Amino acid sequence: MTQPFIAPSLLAADFANLQRDLELVNRSEADYLHFDVMDGIFVPNISFGFPLLEAVRRHCKKPLDVHLMITDPDRYIEAFAEGGAAVIHVHYEACTHLHRTLTRIRELGCRAGVALNPHTPITGLVDVLEQIDVILIMSVNPGFGGQSFIPHTIQKITGLKQLLVANQCPALIEVDGGVSLANAQALLTAGTDVLVAGNSVFGAADLLDAIYQLKNSRKPMMA
Ligand code: DX5
Ligand code: ZN
């Protein structure tokens, strides 16, 4: 039984104790650190950018999963690649030439991710499946941590998994927003490979245990 990949979302960390939180993540079973970049235009919030990326890079041993919630992300993908991103997700809704953008991300040596807002249908991806390494399904409207999970996401992931299998596409499915132990099993059964979790891990009394629980949340199917 394969375990999911876990990506704690930095947005929910305690920035006054960032080094402490990053060292906890380093000691955990997390597979990535999810790094949310918001520009105040594509989403109604501003988060952080390159100075924080530089600080995180110095202390974090996990590969960086960069989620660009910004308009016209082509302007910055090279800088994030140079800044140490392992995966770069751009939003489908923010890209005029998605094929070109994804190709460029791979040329820069990163894995190419596409994020879909809750209202965006998966069918828009059929002509770029070969260019995608990861599909990031938003299970909240992006912009803020700590929001409630949108239940329709489970159906969307089931449909996406069918689409990927039908097209023999090896892209991973990642889910972001309101992920916790309450919905992890259903998300994994639907076909999710990567769970992003902010408040459910950084808000937990024991971050190491919260990540361990998510990592082990795939339960065996009943015979
Ligand atoms: C939301 C961000 C998420 C957020 C997740 O726009 O993209 O990565 O940090 O936080 P939680 O898990 O608290 O919903
Ligand atoms: Zn995110």
Residues with Cβ < 8 Å from 93, sequence gap 6 or more? 42, 116, 117, 120
pLDDT, tens only, 155-189: 999 999 999 999 999 999 999 999 999 999 999 99
Of 21, 31, 36, 39, catalytic: 36
Given the CA of residue 34, which atom of ligand 1 is nearest to it? 8
CB 24 within 8 A of CB 206: no
The three-class DSSP label of residue 9 is strand
CA of 151 to the centre of ligand 2 (A): 18
**What local confidence, expressed as pLDDT, does residue 103 receive?**
98
pLDDT, tens only, 19-63: 999 999 999 999 999 999 999 999 999 999 999 999 999 999 999
67 lines ligand 1 (CB under 6 A): yes
Categorize the per-residue pLDDT at 134 as very low, low, confident or very high, splitting at 50, 70 and 90: very high
73 lines ligand 1 (CB under 6 A): no
Categorize the per-residue pLDDT at 223 as very low, low, confident or very high, splitting at 50, 70 and 90: low
Given the CA of residue 179, which atom of ligand 1 is nearest to it? 12
CB 69 within 8 A of CB 143: yes
pLDDT at residue 219 is higher than 90: no
**What local confidence, expressed as pLDDT, does residue 16 receive?**
98
Categorize the per-residue pLDDT at 152 as very low, low, confident or very high, splitting at 50, 70 and 90: very high
| Over residues 64-93, mean pLDDT | 98
36 lines ligand 1 (CB under 6 A): yes
* Nearest-angstrom CA–CA distance, 173 and 103: 19
Given the CA of residue 142, which atom of ligand 1 is nearest to it? 6
CA of 177 to the centre of ligand 1 (A): 5
* Nearest-angstrom CA–CA distance, 60 and 151: 32
Categorize the per-residue pLDDT at 79 as very low, low, confident or very high, splitting at 50, 70 and 90: very high
Q: Name the percent of the chain lying above pLDDT 70.
A: 99
199 lines ligand 1 (CB under 6 A): yes
12 lines ligand 1 (CB under 6 A): yes
> Into which CATH architecture does domain 5-215 fall?
Alpha-Beta Barrel (3.20)
Would the CA dihedral through 54, 57, 99, 139 be positive or negative?
A: negative
Given the CA of residue 138, which atom of ligand 1 is nearest to it? 7
pTM over cut 0.85: yes
Catalytic site residue 72?
no
**What local confidence, expressed as pLDDT, does residue 190 receive?**
98
pLDDT at residue 10 is higher than 70: yes
pLDDT at residue 211 is higher than 90: yes
9 lines ligand 1 (CB under 6 A): yes
pLDDT at residue 220 is higher than 90: no
Catalytic site residue 14?
no
Residues with Cβ < 8 Å from 2, sequence gap 6 or more? 218
CA of 170 to the centre of ligand 2 (A): 22
